[in-house]
Amino acid sequence: MVYIRQDKLPKLKEYKYSGVDHSLVSRYVLKPFYTHVVINCFPMWMAPNLITTTGFMFVVANFLTMLWYTPTLDQDCPPWVYASWAIGLFLYQTFDAVDGSQARRTHQSGPLGELFDHGVDAINTSLEVLLFSAAMNLGQGWKTVLTLFASLMTFYVQTWEEYHTHTLTLGFISGPVEGILTLCIVYALTAYLGGGSFWQRSMLASIGIKNYDFIPNILYDLAWNEWYMVYGGIVLVFNTISSCQNVMEARRARGQRTRIAMLGLLTFAAAWTLIPAYLYLQPMILRQHLVPFIFYAGLVNAYSVGRIIISHLTKSRFPRGNVLIYPLIYGVADSLGPWLQKHIGVGWPSALGNDVYQVAFVFMCLGLAIGVHGSFVIDVIWTICDYLDIWCLTIKYPYQPVEENAEKDKKGQ
């Protein structure tokens, strides 16, 4: 399948990065640290995409330790494991932020860098959901699914906003800055407190607040991880509303209809109508095999986000639909029949059942998602590199200042 049409390739040369970061932490703390300290640690021959890939390897290492110590997301790990997650994620954030500075320093800025950066971030989002759930001892259940929903929606809406406004806008509280720093603090505190079981305790009781009569029991008994989810929900609503307002203002300024842009959110809505429906109908997957399913759901979102970025870079129409949700449609339809038979007396038998074949179906969906998204990534990188005459992980044409070229010309004469 061709993901970039030949007539759209010239648009790649018109690419120009546009971003706005309103974060005070980023402006006064992180950016000075990146500019004056971190960037000097990377040699000029190192390609920006190689920096991004290297940073992502820290997250992969974190994920592997998670699979070893707490594959069910509800077991306490040795303190050093949580500490390594905090360090690994901070290094990922640092490398991910510095790759842009390296691109400008080496004069290698281009559309491939933005695509590569967003693609890695999309995969990292799902991995961090699993790591966070493991750190909080959320286990395999609806709390982890809600965390995944909030994280993927934040990323999808942010990319959708960038497509319509042509500018990457990070608010005063954003996932790439405050969100990641918050996770680093959570991991570090988990290491200090001795394990994720601490976050299962009542927050108000832990900080010494008595159970007064005016405090409802449901509020007093909320655990630390549940309070964090409330905080995440508030931030999600705020950022989503802000993104929608930005899109509507940008389209009105160009004399375009706003309703058309809102239709772009239906792809995400369709996927997240099917995902909870399937998990509700198949509690065995929810409680025992949620990790591979989260991978699958994350790749569904990563594939959508990747196609949006490509459409943004080539100035093509917004991509709607996602082929990776088709297996999920079948899974819901197959599981719905027995449920209808049980509750209303009319339905159809399941071809997959609710045992080993259902598990195999989940892994089949995961394999299909890896294949489709992998082919997308390879095809797009290959196409962009071939058209722009660049390499992905190395610098094909190192930048040489004009003065140096002039001196060489004089010597040649």
Task: Give the 3-state DSSP-derived string for the chain, with helices as H, strands as E and coil as C.
Answer: CCCCCHHHHHHHHHCCCCEEECCHHHHHHHHHHHHHCHHHHCCCCECHHHHHHHHHHHHHHHHHHHHHHCCCCCCCCCHHHHHHHHHHHHHHHHHHHHHHHHHHHCCCCCHHHHHHHHHHHHHHHHHHHHHHHHHCCCCCCHHHHHHHHHHHHHHHHHHHHHHHHCCEEECCCCHHHHHHHHHHHHHHHHHHHCCHHHHHCEHHHHCCCCCCCCCCHHHHCCEHHHHHHHHHHHHHHHHHHHHHHHHHHHHHHCCCCHHHHHHHHHHHHHHHHHHHHHHHHCHHHHHHCHHHHHHHHHHHHHHHHHHHHHHHHHCCCCCCCCHHHHHHHHHHHHHHHHHHHHHHCCCCCCCCCCCHHHHHHHHHHHHHHHHHHHHHHHHHHHHHHHHHCCCCCECCCCCCCHHHHHHHHHHHC
For residue 77, is it within any domain? yes
Q: How many other C-beta atoms lie within 10 A of the C-beta of residue 251?
A: 18
Tokens of 183: 């996770």
Tell me what pLDDT residue 316 has: 92
Q: What is the pTM of this model?
A: 0.92
Q: Which residue numbers in the chain have pLDDT < 70?
A: 1, 402-413
Domain that holds residue 258: 6-412
Give the pLDDT score at 82: 96
pLDDT digits (tens, 9 = 90+) for 120-153: 999 999 999 999 999 999 999 999 999 999 999 9
1 found inside a domain: no
Instruction: Specify the number of domains making up the chain.
Output: 1
What is the C-alpha separation between 107 and 340, in angstroms, rounded? Answer: 61
pLDDT of residue 333: 95
Q: What is the CATH number of the domain that holds 242?
A: 1.20.120.1760
Structure confidence at residue 381 (pLDDT):
94
Catalytic site residues?
118
The pLDDT assigned to 358 comes to 95
**Residue 226 forms part of a structural domain:** yes
